[in-house]
Structure 1
Amino acid sequence: MRLTFAYPTSPGESTGGVVALFEFANALSRRGHDVRFLHGPEWPTRIGSLDELPEKCQGHGVQHFLVDAIDDPAVPDGDIVFLSDAPVRYGLPAVIVQGYGMLSPELEDAVFRVPAPKVCVARWLIDTGIGLGAPAEQFVHAPCGIDHDIFQVRTPLEDRPIDVAALFHPHREKGWPDLLAALHRIVEMRPGTRGVVFARNKPPQELPMGIEFVHSPDHQQLATEVYGRTRVFVQASLREGFGLTPVEAMACGATLVTTDNGGSHDYGIDGVTARVTPPGDPEALATATVGLLNDDAERQRLGRAGVDHVQQFRWDRSAEKLEQFLERYRSDPAAFQHPAQY
Structure 2
Amino acid sequence: MKISFVLPGVSRVPVGGYKMIFEYANRLCRRGHDITLIFHCFSGMNRNQHIPKFVKLLYYYFGAYYFPTWFTLDSRIHKICKYKKLIDSELPDGDVICATAIDTAYEVAETASSKGKKVYFIQDYENWNGWTDDKVRKSYCLGMKNIVIAKWLQKIVKSAGADSILIPNGIDFKVFDVDIPISQRTKPIISMLYHKDEHKGSKYGIEALRRLKTKYPALQAILFGTPARPKDLPDWIQYIQNATQEQLRKIYNQSLIYLCPSIKEGFGLTGAEAMACGAAYVASDYGGVHEYTVEGRNVLLSAPKDVDGLINNISRLFDDEKKRIQLAENGYKDIKVLNWDDSVIQFENVIKEIL
Name the TM-score, length of structure 1 as normaliser.
0.88
**Cα 1:60–1:298, aligned 2, differ >3 Å: closer, same or farther?**
farther
What is the match of residue 60 of structure 2?
47
- Report if aligned partners of 1:192, 1:210 keep a CA contact under 8 Å in 2: no
What is the match of residue 217 of structure 1?
243
**Cα 1:181–1:101, aligned 2, differ >3 Å: closer, same or farther?**
farther
Q: In the alignment, which of 107, 114, 119 is matched to residue 135 of structure 2?
A: 107
Please state whether the residue corresponding to 1:127 is helix, strand or coil.
Answer: helix
Question: Displacement of 1:188 after TM fit?
Answer: 2.9
- Report if aligned partners of 2:9, 2:39 keep a CA contact under 8 Å in 1: yes
Unaligned runs of 5+ in 1: 331-342
Higher RCO, Cα 8 Å, sep 6+:
1
Range with bigger deviation, 284-293 or 108-117: 108-117
Question: Displacement of 1:74 after TM fit?
Answer: 5.5
Question: Displacement of 1:242 after TM fit?
Answer: 1.2
Question: Is 1:254 the equivalent of 2:269?
Answer: no
What is the match of residue 189 of structure 2?
163
What is the match of residue 4 of structure 1?
4
- Report if aligned partners of 2:147, 2:164 keep a CA contact under 8 Å in 1: yes
**d(CA) in 2 for partners of 1:2, 1:95:** 16
**d(CA) in 2 for partners of 1:287, 1:208:** 21
Structure 1's consecutive aligned runs of 4 or more residues displaced over 4 angstroms after TM superposition are none
Question: Is 1:77 the equivalent of 2:89?
Answer: no
Question: Displacement of 1:162 after TM fit?
Answer: 4.4
**d(CA) in 2 for partners of 1:314, 1:12:** 27
Unaligned runs of 5+ in 2: 46-58, 99-107
Q: For each residue in 1:197-250, what CA deviation from the matched residue of structure 2 results, as whole angstroms up to 9, or x when unmatched?
A: 1222245353347432233321101112x1001000000101111111111111
**Cα 1:215–1:8, aligned 2, differ >3 Å: closer, same or farther?**
closer
**Cα 1:143–1:267, aligned 2, differ >3 Å: closer, same or farther?**
same
**d(CA) in 1 for partners of 2:68, 2:155:** 33
What is the match of residue 227 of structure 2?
201
**Cα 1:48–1:149, aligned 2, differ >3 Å: closer, same or farther?**
same
**d(CA) in 2 for partners of 1:41, 1:177:** 31
**Cα 1:41–1:210, aligned 2, differ >3 Å: closer, same or farther?**
closer
**d(CA) in 2 for partners of 1:323, 1:220:** 29
What is the match of residue 174 of structure 1?
200
Give 1:63's aligned amino acid.
H
Question: Displacement of 1:86 after TM fit?
Answer: 2.4
What is the match of residue 256 of structure 2?
231
Question: Displacement of 1:40 after TM fit?
Answer: 2.5
**d(CA) in 1 for partners of 2:35, 2:240:** 36
How many residues end up aligned between the 2 structures?
A: 326
What is the match of residue 64 of structure 1?
79
**d(CA) in 2 for partners of 1:112, 1:217:** 34
- Report if aligned partners of 2:151, 2:291 keep a CA contact under 8 Å in 1: yes
**d(CA) in 2 for partners of 1:140, 1:60:** 30
Aligned-pair Cα RMSD in Å: 2.1
- Report if aligned partners of 1:11, 1:52 keep a CA contact under 8 Å in 2: no
Give 1:230's aligned amino acid.
S
**d(CA) in 1 for partners of 2:188, 2:110:** 48
**d(CA) in 2 for partners of 1:147, 1:158:** 23
Question: Displacement of 1:101 after TM fit?
Answer: 5.3
Question: Displacement of 1:57 after TM fit?
Answer: 5.8
- Report if aligned partners of 2:14, 2:226 keep a CA contact under 8 Å in 1: no
- Report if aligned partners of 1:164, 1:232 keep a CA contact under 8 Å in 2: yes
Question: Displacement of 1:11 after TM fit?
Answer: 5.4
What is the match of residue 158 of structure 2?
130
